[in-house]
Amino acid sequence: MKSKHDLSWIFFSLFVLFMAGCNTQGGAKVKAPAAPPKSARDTVKQSAASTAPPVKIDSSRPLDTTLYKKLVMHLVHDSASAKWPVKSPYPMTGAILPFKRIVAYYGNFYNAGMGILGETPTDSMLAHLMAEVRKWQAADSAVQVLPAIHYIAVTAQGQPGKGNKYRLRMPFSQIDKAMELARKINAIVILDVQVGWSTLQDEIPTLEPYLKLPNVHLAIDPEFSMKSSGRKPGTIIGTFSAADINYASQYLVNLVKKYNLPPKILVVHRFTNDMVTNYKSIILHPETQIVMDMDGWGFPAKKVSSYKLAEAREPVEFTGFKLFYKNDIKTPPWKTIMTPQQVLKLYPSPIYIQYQ
């Protein structure tokens, strides 16, 4: 017999699926919440992998600024505008962007509804990811493609849980699993944070044992930042301010300096303008590289419109684009998701690609 707790998760999951089908906002999506695993607790315990010492880098090797500028212009199709490319400081040595385009698989191991990481057996999932990497490499040979495991390490929840936070921190054993998957294919790891009623100030420091490693980066999702609205995650679209993003970026800057790391990537999900407020106040640093990721689902014209409104018209630094294996083909007559060639025609071309 299922407990009341189990039934509440079933009812909330059905509600989220209903919302996803009814949502008509430009590019909008609603993710299913992760069911609480039996082994997970509100606090996480450190594992052997998470406390491994970070690898030092050779900071004496200078950045290839000529290649940097060439690739930045490549992203805008060698056609500069008043907004693109963004005027920003050169990154530190070891920067990934724009030297490599990231192709990531997204999800959570406890819930197949949150992305391909949790719905496909490991071996076939990794093989599929590498097949996508090869497609993107063939579509744009000028930029090397780097695979990534994008794991939701803090998931928004439909129940308040301990501390009334409406979020659940994944146990380190699950983050270790993401690290192991990345190791198998020489990928980077991106840890995603959905704060619910919590804050970035409370959640990001718990991930420092991983973020201090050179191959681990950070993503934050305004959609599930709900405390200011007083609403449950999944009922409306949340928001982050420039101050929130600056906090996350500065936290990564401090880690880069403390542990002598290459620059960190900060992915910020965004498919509406209101998800990020006061974007002109976002501060850029040589130690971090900010990607504004258009992560809404829908038919191609809807996705392109969202990209133009939320990313291209409000430039921050780099852009990303999310593709949904299932949700992007919900509306007939579209039977396939957008191809790399179609996405690369966007202005500017996204440097971060995420599949859910």
Distance spanning both ends of the chain, measured CA to CA: 33
Strand partners, 151: 107, 191
Region 163-167 average pLDDT:
93
C-alpha angle 55-60-61 in degrees, rounded to nearest 5 = 90
Question: Is residue 251 scored above 60 in pLDDT?
Answer: yes
Distance CA 224, CA 156 (A): 6
Domains and CATH numbers, the chain: 4-355 (3.20.20)
Place 111 in a pLDDT band, splitting at 50, 70 and 90: confident
pLDDT of the residue at 99: 97
Sequence-distant (≥ 6) Cβ neighbours of residue 293 within 8 angstroms: 219, 267, 268, 269, 270, 311, 319, 320, 321, 322, 352, 354
Q: Give me the helices (H) in the chain, please.
A: 4-22, 65-75, 116-119, 122-139, 172-184, 200-203, 208-211, 242-259, 300-307, 340-344
Which residues touch 313 (CB under 8 Å, ≥6 apart)? 83
State the pLDDT at residue 60: 55
Output the pLDDT for position 247: 98
Strand partners, 102: 146, 352
In this predicted structure, what is the pLDDT of residue 277? Answer: 96
Torsion of CA 341, 342, 348, 349, to 10 degrees: -30
pLDDT digits over 269-287, tens only? 999 999 999 999 999 999 9
Distance from C-alpha of 39 to C-alpha of 85, rounded to nearest angstrom = 46
Which amino acid type is present at position 271?
F
SS3 (DSSP) at 143: coil
Q: pLDDT of 332-350, one tens digit each?
A: 888 889 999 999 999 999 9
**For the segment 21-46, what is each residue's pLDDT rounded down to a tens digit?**
333 333 434 344 444 444 433 334 44
In this prediction, residues 307-328 reach a mean pLDDT of: 96
For the segment 135-163, the average pLDDT, to the nearest whole number, is 95
Question: How many C-beta neighbours within 10 Å does residue 84 have?
Answer: 17
pLDDT at residue 188 in the model: 98
Average of pLDDT values for 168-178? Answer: 95
Tell me the pLDDT of the chain averaged across its residues.
86
What is the pLDDT, as a whole number, of residue 345?
A: 97
pLDDT band at 189 (very low <50, low <70, confident <90, very high): very high
More confident residue, 247 or 6: 247
pLDDT, tens digit, for every residue of 211-223? Answer: 999 999 999 999 9
- Mean pLDDT score, 138-161: 96
Q: What does the pLDDT read at residue 323?
A: 96
Sign of CA pseudo-dihedral 197, 239, 37, 19:
positive
According to the model, what pLDDT value does residue 44 have? 40
Confidence at residue 34, expressed as pLDDT on a 0 to 100 scale? 44
What percent of the chain stands above pLDDT 90? 74
What per-residue confidence (pLDDT) applies to 115? 86
The packing angle between helices 122-139 and 172-184, to 10°, is 50
pLDDT class of 192 with cuts at 50, 70, 90: very high
Band of pLDDT at residue 144, cut at 50, 70 and 90:
very high
Q: Average of pLDDT values for 141-165?
A: 95
Q: State how far the Cα of 286 lies from the Cα of 32, in Å rounded to an integer.
A: 35
pLDDT at 138 over 60: yes
Q: Picking from 35-39, 67-71, 133-137, which range would have the lowest pLDDT averaged per residue?
A: 35-39
pLDDT band at 57 (very low <50, low <70, confident <90, very high): very low
Instruction: Give the pLDDT confidence of 198-243 residue by residue, as tens digits.
Output: 999 999 999 999 999 999 999 999 999 998 888 989 889 999 999 9
